[in-house]
Amino acid sequence: MTLEELKAIFKEKFGDQGDIRAYFAPGRVNLIGEHTDYNGGHVFPCALTIGTYAIARIREDKQIRLYSENLSADGVINSSLDELVNKDSYGWANYPLGVVWAMIEKGTKIPSGFDMVVWGNIPNGSGLSSSASLEVLTGTVLTDLFGLNKTMTDLALIGQYSENNFNGCNCGIMDQFAVAMGKKDHAIFLDCADLSYKYAPVKLENASIVITNSKVKHSLVDSAYNDRRNESSRALKDLQTVCGISSLGDLTMAEFEKYGTVIKDEIDYKRAKHAVAENQRTIEAVEALNANDLEKFGQLMNASHVSLRDDYEVSCQEVDFLVETQWKVPGVIGARITGGGFGGCTVAIVKNDAVENFKDTVGKAYKEKFDLDAEFYVVDIGDGARRL
């Protein structure tokens, strides 16, 4: 869909008067560093050129009218600044409404309502952060429409706060930060303990990032995502009885092996082991990329998947099959599950001359095994959220 077509839908739904503006927020893929963000570790995501578009306009009253060309099966969602509550009937609209609620909750005055039409090309439930994209998009819209004094980091934190407290998913900061702070042809090496970050150029000479959508949908709110966070927290509390750390990301693997026996529960131990090891892998992976050692980067991606499968247990049989099939395809440098887990997507680095064979081989094997049609996206790394 073009921007002009989306504007036409806005005018059809809400009229053509006033100052109508356009915005975009990307999806993201995480190259390595999964379930480390809320454990105080490092992540290495990048923004994509696919994402969510919005057309928006200020209203003079307190009404909020929302319409999604993708998701509004029941038409326009009507709410207001006086009634910012999470309702099942609102569906997708709970994400933008949550951002408005979070802004007000954090002390920002939103003087009036607004009309907004959105459309996105991120597959819903794929693990490419359609929810974070919508949250940061809404923050960008509100900041621009009302002239708010918000940085992109502010908008990332507001998006996370709204998803935690309005939508009930206890996510970390990675998704919103990547969506807000993305930079073309760069990934973000982010320390989630203090939000310090560096941009790292992603130079994949003769290779591409290929995302494979398993078409197995998940909802992080309804899944075991929150359980994993609780298990990691219990492990941290046990460790804090013997060492002065504030997060699992503070430990090296050697330190974890020294102190880890204090963790009482076997499952909690496995969760902590993943968080510590994945953080170290992420640091090593960025060093490898900076040294143009793609082979080592790929090996660390593979090890990340094994850890997510066996220690953090956030994969599933469909995604495991995809990754294990991808590892066998000639020209694959590395492959792993990406995102919150329990379905969604894999991310692989594939030599350019092997991409078509990769799609053909993996697609056929997956169809034969599960009778599902995987979708493949050869993606580019783009910029963060912005007014168009």
The answer as to whether 90 is a domain residue is yes
**20 Cβ contact partners less than 8 Å away, ≥ 6 residues apart:** 7, 10, 11, 55, 56, 57
Q: Does residue 221 contact residue 167 with C-beta atoms inside 8 Å?
A: yes
Q: With CA atoms as reference, report the closest residue to 154 among 174, 175, 136.
A: 136
- Average pLDDT, stretch 12-35? 96
Secondary structure of residue 27 in the 3-state scheme: strand
pLDDT in tens, 140-152: 999 999 999 999 9
For 269, phi then psi, to 5°, come to -60, -45
The pair of structure tokens assigned to 294 is: 């793609």
Q: Considering the domain boundaries, does residue 334 fall inside one?
A: no
The residues facing 347 across adjacent strands are 211, 336
- Looking at 220-316, list the stretches that DSSP marks H as alpha helix, in order from N- to C-terminal side: 225-239, 253-259, 266-290, 294-310
Kindly report the average pLDDT of the chain as a whole number: 94
Burial of 353 (0-12, 13-18, 19+ CB in 10 A): exposed
**Band (221; pLDDT cuts 50, 70, 90):** very low
pLDDT of residue 378: 93
Residue 75 lies in a domain: yes
Helix (DSSP H) and strand (DSSP E) numbers for the chain: 11, 13
- What is the predicted pLDDT for the residue at 341? 85
Domain that holds residue 140: 3-201
Please write the tens of the pLDDT for every residue from 229-249: 999 999 999 999 999 999 999
Distance CA 24, CA 22 (A): 7
Q: Report the alpha-carbon distance of residue 170 to residue 162 in Å, rounded.
A: 10
**pLDDT band, residue 222 (cuts 50/70/90):** low
Which contiguous run of DSSP H or E holds residue 14? helix 3-14
pLDDT at 339: 86
Structure tokens at 127: 């693990």
Q: Where are the beta strands (DSSP E) in 35-185?
A: 42-43, 45-58, 63-68, 77-80, 114-120
How many residues would you count in the chain?
A: 388
Give yes or no for residue 223 having a pLDDT over 70: no
Is the pLDDT at 84 greater than 70? The verdict is yes
- Measured at the CA of 47, the angle between CA 220 and CA 222, to 5 degrees, comes to 5
- Residue 209 included in any domain: no
Residue with tokens 């009309």: 115
CA 363 vs. chain centroid, Å, equals 24
Q: How far apart are CA 2 and CA 31, in angstroms?
A: 29
Residues annotated as catalytic are 175
Higher pLDDT, 218 or 144: 144
At 197, list the tokens: 């970050």
CATH number of the domain encompassing residue 82: 3.30.230.10
Spatial CA neighbour of 95 closest among 52, 48, 147, 153: 52
How would you class 109 by CB atoms within 10 Å of its CB: exposed for 0-12, middle for 13-18, buried for 19 or more?
exposed
Indicate the pTM of the whole model: 0.92
Q: How far apart are CA 370 and CA 377, in angstroms?
A: 20
- The predicted structure's pLDDT at residue 71: 75
| DSSP-assigned states of every residue in 286-300 | HHHHHTT-HHHHHHH
Asked if residue 306 belongs to a domain, the reply is: no
Token pair recorded at residue 261: 């026996």
Domain tally, the chain: 1
Residue 101 C-beta-side C-alpha neighbours within 13 Å: 22
Q: Is residue 161 part of a domain?
A: yes
Cβ-based neighbours of 202, under 8 Å, separated by 6 or more: 31, 46, 185, 186, 187, 209, 289, 381
In a domain, 362, yes or no: no
User: How confident is the model over 160-169, as pLDDT tens digits?
Assistant: 999 999 998 8
pLDDT greater than 90 at residue 74: no
**Tens digits of per-residue pLDDT, 85-132?**
999 989 999 999 999 999 999 999 999 999 999 999 987 767 788 899
Q: Is residue 175 part of a domain?
A: yes
Structure tokens at 121: 């090309």
CA pair distance 24, 384, nearest whole angstrom: 8
Cβ within 8 Å of residue 182, ≥6 positions away: 26, 28, 46, 47, 48, 188, 381, 382, 383, 384, 385
